[in-house]
Chain A
Amino acid sequence: MTDYDALDYAPLLALADDEVVTHSRVRDVTTPSGKTIALITLDNGFDYKRPNTLGPKTLEELNDVLIDLKGRASRGEIHAVAITGKQFILAAGADLSKVNTVPSVDVARLLAQQGHRTLGRLNELGVPSFAFVNGLALGGGLEVALNATYRTVDSSVSALGLPEVFLGLVPGWGGATLLPHLVGIRNALRLIIENPLRNNRLIDAKTAYRLGFADVMFSPIRFLEDSLVWADKVLTGRISVRRKFSPGFFERAFVWPQAIRIARASVAAKIGRVAKSPFAALDVLAYTRTASRGDSFAREDEILSSLISGDQFQASMYAFNLVQKHAKKPSGAPDPTLAQPVTKVGVIGAGLMARQFALLFVRRLKVPVVLTDIDQARLDDAVAYIHREIADLNAKGLLSSDETSRLQSLVTGTTDKNAFADADWVIEAVFEELAIKQEVFASFEKIISPTAIFATNTSSLSVAQIGSKLKHPGRLVGFHFFNPVAVMPLLEVVRAGTTTDETLATAMKVAASLRKTAVITSDSTGFVVNRLLAKVLGEAMHAVDTGTHPSVIDAGCAPFGMPMPPFVLLDLVGLKVGAHVLDTHHAAFPDRFFDSENLHKLADYGRIITRDKKGNPSGFDKGALNIVKGGTSPMTAEAFQKRLEDGLADEIHRMLDEGVVASAQDIDLCMIMGAGWPFQMGGITPYLDRVGASERVFGKTFHSPRIAGVQN
């Protein structure tokens, strides 16, 4: 067992000069039966908008406080210790603002060890400890509670969780060790593995209580008062706490190892084997089954230090900051005050895309949305569909009845174009053909107000050309959604050379109202996401065309850790669409993007992969393999991997030179939000830097210093 008190934490504290310290305030509180409880309040002195975090100085102070309280307990001055947080917040977890400056594996290990030394004291006070979970508790914040003897939770708390695996870490201040012994392996897997991998889903107090995390739940009106009365009853023996999920012999012997095996397989099936953190967490969860607490904490220390000092975590933190911060300050956005109000939306078309637009706009903007089409029956069908979708939200409890009727009444459909006369925002969802889009917009321009804005959802045409027939081309902006519109968070907002600042500002405001992450791109083929996916798919098809077996290509792609192999992606977007995307990019950049005759043949044939009964990809279609055979210069997986890495580095470098977007950060944000590329890659550019592709291709790196761990 590690003697945590014997370690020198000075190198860690040296990183924390400007830490916002969360103080541990102690007050003695007398319970109804006359017991004295030392109540610790974690408070960084700011309101809830700046949550408590746990940095080295914070932990040092808490450690000193707990040492003092242990002394008081031994002298009989206090009968228990309780810990809670400032209003609405227990703690948002470890202070990660300095983790990119951790200079070595040893210092990274100290970060883990300092947590164990400090929080572990909650279990070694000589008197019971209580965590009164009064508000948000994430990661290390939740581990504060897990290290205590008992837990109460405020029923109004909505954000509890262990996001470590999402960020490339493991819950390493006791979480991975303590949780399965408290709530059972299945519930622990849900909190430590499954929820983080479901886009960092958090749980509320009621769920936490149901899963066995908290011993009791109280309503917020008298949470602290009730918690103290409850603690008093525990201390006086009037309540004995039972933990029904705490694993018994059968669970430990049989259920636990089996659950770990299943989890390993299911994580691998879901995200592949590249991301380290989920498997590292599973290692601790497997190890802690039979290990002593001390040994298991030591294992957490080793695993956490190796992750903190590794590439994937640093890339994940970069990605997390992109999504949390960079996304809220879009590069190149004009003065937001130029935005015009949008009080009515017109949607041209009544097809699937038009319906999705109308539904999203009415839900988020809550203004009249009118669809128009030449066919009234189609419109009626579209409006009925949207009304049904809104009613479904009501049935799921996501919309009140009043709000349901409000939204339904806002959506109408008419063949009369004049209904657009007072619309401020008109978006088209018509066939992806230049002449059609040009003509549609030109005809509506005669009707709409002089200030109304046109948005096109084109993915492959030039926005400037679409607007070239307009009297006022400055009112047109590209508004490129990803399918399914309601789910995918990215919106590429395309600024054509003609687009005015007012138009762009309005588009950015609308995007924000739609709760999308908007990235401004130039009016160039494929914008960001499609251009890079076209690169991947084009390289993959080219390798097939020249004789490489698709399984070799999959193997070459595997080290990236992308959400799916290229041929599964092709299957998902549709082979015809895929062929069209390759053609478009080949036409725009013939020397760098491949088109593929074979892909057209495959599209006609209709299949490329096979799927099992559950719909999971199970291999390559024999007929498809037959169609593409005949190439004479196959590549190895390694050669393909390098070629793809270099191709992406080159293309991104060119895109930045061309000014497609303002920065590498924008590229990464697009790939994370629009293509689901993982945090551990940092989107794409940190990955390309760390594998050396950037230097091979253009002699420099996208990021300086590289976003990489200290291990390498």
Chain B
Amino acid sequence: MAIGNRVAFIDGVRSPFGRAGEKGVFWTTRADDIMAKTVVGLLERNPKVPPAAIDEVALAAATQAGDQGLVLGRSVGILAGLPLSVPGYAIDRWCAGAMTATTTVAGGIAMGAYDIAIAGGVEHMGHHPIGAGLEPNPRFISEKLVDPAALSMGETAERLHDRFPQLTKERSDRFSMASQAKAEAAYEAGKIQADLVPVSASGEAGWTVVSVDETRRPGTNMEGLADLKTPFRPHGRVTAGNASGLTDGATACILASDEAVAKYGLTPKMYLVTYAFVGVEPEVMGIGPIPSTEKALAKAGLTMDDIGLIEINEAFAVQVLSFTDHFGLPDDDPRVNPMGGAIAFGHPLASSGVRLMIQLARGFAEHPEVRYGMTTMCVGLGQGGTVIWENPNWKK
């Protein structure tokens, strides 16, 4: 179990996720503006948290340049109107940026350095396509350190299909169809919108206010999924339908110590139990959640049987299935992503970690019988991250 001060997840919100690219709703909206509006929405929803009491703002982006390049935690703090005394920094672990922002500031709370902190992330994948501007070291290839295909995420997903032949395209598609259906049901029940901060956006068609995710595809069926192109390989298995969409979006959450919870009368939605990050071969980065989950469970002294809810990032359906297969869970295990996942909502890289936490927190509220849950995700260049959470609403 973790030692030090207990860390509470107070609340999390996110922007709606927009389709990346010129046709997306956020094409002419800056990443830092989306992020700042998200932070403002978070604080408006939590008026008991005095802005001046925030000890840190840790915000992630996979590409730290342009409109997400100026020390995000600091520049967004200024843009959001936080007191100038509130510090902030930028953080990066590619897809697990916001997750790492959360675990890092949680570490600060645990060791007593912070009482209250904001963690989150943003990725405008329209402005910053994955991998843009990178200059991979030639030693990757000359010394065979990293398979060149490892930098194409779709290719790593195809490689998982190679490695685990039982993970068929059909299973991936079926999982994806279910993700869309679960997301739609959650939308119809108002569970997703409740944690969205509407964000204004301008474009050639004029201003609008975006209040729902743009990439959902309600009514997705197996026939439609079967017809999609496999852009990474001829006759491959990975399609736009069984992968997360390229999206623009931001997330943010508030973490606090027990002391701050008492002092300001806050209501925790989750308590952090422990977390772990583990590296894997870059060319099968999608299996990362398996070892990170094993490590985190071991640290927590728990087994998968203790986990009542799992929010796993659906970078690719095959990568989720590699995880569920490994732990002996059925493809349609009701504990896994009960409100849908990134295949429906999209995966704005560095922001997704906190989206998982937002959905887990809602799941905890709905399921007082669940004591433990986890958020987990794979990370490009071969890593996995897992955070285990405890449900404050848990009743035996």
Contact indicator B80/A225 (Cβ below 8 Å): no
User: Which of B199-217 touch A at CB < 8 Å?
Assistant: 199-200, 202, 204-209, 211
B228 at interface, CB cutoff 8 A: no
Smallest distance from the beta carbon of A44 to chain B beta carbons, Å? 12
Contact indicator B206/A27 (Cβ below 8 Å): yes
Given contacts A87-B202, A222-B37, A225-B198, contact A39 B81 (CB under 8 A): no
A183 at interface, CB cutoff 8 A: no
Contact indicator A25/B198 (Cβ below 8 Å): no
Residues of B within 8 A of A222 (CB): 37, 40-41, 200
Smallest distance from the beta carbon of A230 to chain B beta carbons, Å? 12
Complex Cα distance, B36 from A84, in Å, reads 22
User: Which of A37-75 touch B at CB < 8 Å?
Assistant: 39-41, 43
Among B37, B80, B202, the residue within 8 A (CB) of A86 is: B202
A627 at interface, CB cutoff 8 A: no
Contact indicator B81/A84 (Cβ below 8 Å): no
User: Which of B73-97 touch A at CB < 8 Å?
Assistant: 79-81
Contact indicator B206/A225 (Cβ below 8 Å): no
Smallest distance from the beta carbon of A51 to chain B beta carbons, Å? 16
Among B37, B80, B206, B211, the residue within 8 A (CB) of A30 is: B211
Q: Interface residue count for B (Cβ, 8 Å)?
A: 18
One digit per residue, 1 when the CB lies within 8 angstroms of any chain A CB and 0 when it does not, for chain B 36-62 equals: 110011000000000000000000000
Smallest distance from the beta carbon of B383 to chain A beta carbons, Å? 34
Smallest distance from the beta carbon of B40 to chain A beta carbons, Å? 5
A228 at interface, CB cutoff 8 A: yes
Given contacts A219-B81, A221-B81, A225-B37, contact A27 B200 (CB under 8 A): no
User: Which of B349-373 touch A at CB < 8 Å?
Assistant: none
Complex Cα distance, B208 from A27, in Å, reads 7
Smallest distance from the beta carbon of A88 to chain B beta carbons, Å? 11
Smallest distance from the beta carbon of B197 to chain A beta carbons, Å? 8
Residues of B within 8 A of A86 (CB): 202
Contact indicator B206/A43 (Cβ below 8 Å): yes
Given contacts A221-B79, A224-B200, contact A39 B207 (CB under 8 A): yes
Complex Cα distance, B208 from A228, in Å, reads 10
Q: Interface residue count for A (Cβ, 8 Å)?
A: 19
Smallest distance from the beta carbon of A426 to chain B beta carbons, Å? 42
Smallest distance from the beta carbon of B201 to chain A beta carbons, Å? 9
One digit per residue, 1 when the CB lies within 8 angstroms of any chain A CB and 0 when it does not, for chain B 173-214 equals: 000000000000000000000000011101011111101000
**Residue of A with least CB distance to B33:** A221
Contact indicator B79/A225 (Cβ below 8 Å): no
Smallest distance from the beta carbon of B204 to chain A beta carbons, Å? 7
A16 at interface, CB cutoff 8 A: no
**Residue of B with least CB distance to A134:** B207
Residues of B within 8 A of A228 (CB): 198, 209
Complex Cα distance, B209 from A638, in Å, reads 66
Complex Cα distance, B198 from A228, in Å, reads 10
Complex Cα distance, B206 from A26, in Å, reads 7
Residues of B within 8 A of A39 (CB): 206-208
Among B40, B198, B202, the residue within 8 A (CB) of A221 is: B40
One digit per residue, 1 when the CB lies within 8 angstroms of any chain A CB and 0 when it does not, for chain B 199-241 equals: 1101011111101000000000000000000000000000000
Residues of A within 8 A of B208 (CB): 27, 29, 39
Smallest distance from the beta carbon of B258 to chain A beta carbons, Å? 31
Smallest distance from the beta carbon of B44 to chain A beta carbons, Å? 8
Complex Cα distance, B79 from A482, in Å, reads 43
Contact indicator B209/A225 (Cβ below 8 Å): yes
User: Which of A61-113 touch B at CB < 8 Å?
Assistant: 84, 86-87
Complex Cα distance, B41 from A221, in Å, reads 10
Among A29, A30, A222, A224, residue most surrounded by chain B Cβ atoms (within 10 Å): A222
Complex Cα distance, B260 from A156, in Å, reads 34
Contact indicator A27/B36 (Cβ below 8 Å): no
Among B80, B204, B211, the residue within 8 A (CB) of A25 is: B204
One digit per residue, 1 when the CB lies within 8 angstroms of any chain A CB and 0 when it does not, for chain B 10-50 equals: 00000000000000000000000000110011000000000
Residues of B within 8 A of A87 (CB): 202
Complex Cα distance, B209 from A26, in Å, reads 13
**Residue of A with least CB distance to B39:** A221
Smallest distance from the beta carbon of A43 to chain B beta carbons, Å? 6
**Residue of B with least CB distance to A30:** B211
Residues of B within 8 A of A41 (CB): 202, 205-207
Complex Cα distance, B211 from A29, in Å, reads 9
Given contacts A41-B207, A84-B207, contact A225 B200 (CB under 8 A): yes
Complex Cα distance, B80 from A222, in Å, reads 9
Given contacts A222-B37, A222-B40, A222-B200, contact A25 B205 (CB under 8 A): yes
Among B79, B200, B206, residue most surrounded by chain A Cβ atoms (within 10 Å): B206
Among A43, A84, A221, the residue within 8 A (CB) of B80 is: A221
Complex Cα distance, B200 from A87, in Å, reads 11
**Residue of A with least CB distance to B202:** A87
Contact indicator A224/B79 (Cβ below 8 Å): no
**Residue of B with least CB distance to A41:** B206
Complex Cα distance, B79 from A40, in Å, reads 26
Smallest distance from the beta carbon of B133 to chain A beta carbons, Å? 25
Sample of 12 more A-B contacts, CB < 8 Å, known A25-B204, A86-B202, A225-B209: A25-B205, A27-B207, A29-B208, A41-B202, A41-B206, A84-B207, A221-B36, A224-B207, A225-B198, A225-B199, A228-B198, A228-B209
**A-B interface, 10 closest residue pairs, ranked by CB to CB distance from nearest:** A41-B206, A25-B206, A224-B200, A27-B208, A41-B207, A225-B198, A27-B206, A29-B209, A221-B40, A25-B205
Interface residue ranges, B against A (CB under 8 Å): 36-37, 40-41, 79-81, 198-200, 202, 204-209, 211
**Can you identify 20 A-B contacts, CB atoms within 8 angstroms?**
A25-B204, A25-B205, A25-B206, A27-B208, A29-B208, A39-B206, A41-B202, A41-B205, A41-B207, A84-B207, A221-B36, A221-B81, A222-B37, A222-B40, A222-B200, A223-B200, A224-B200, A224-B207, A225-B209, A228-B198
Interface residue ranges, A against B (CB under 8 Å): 25-27, 29-30, 39-41, 43, 84, 86-87, 219, 221-225, 228
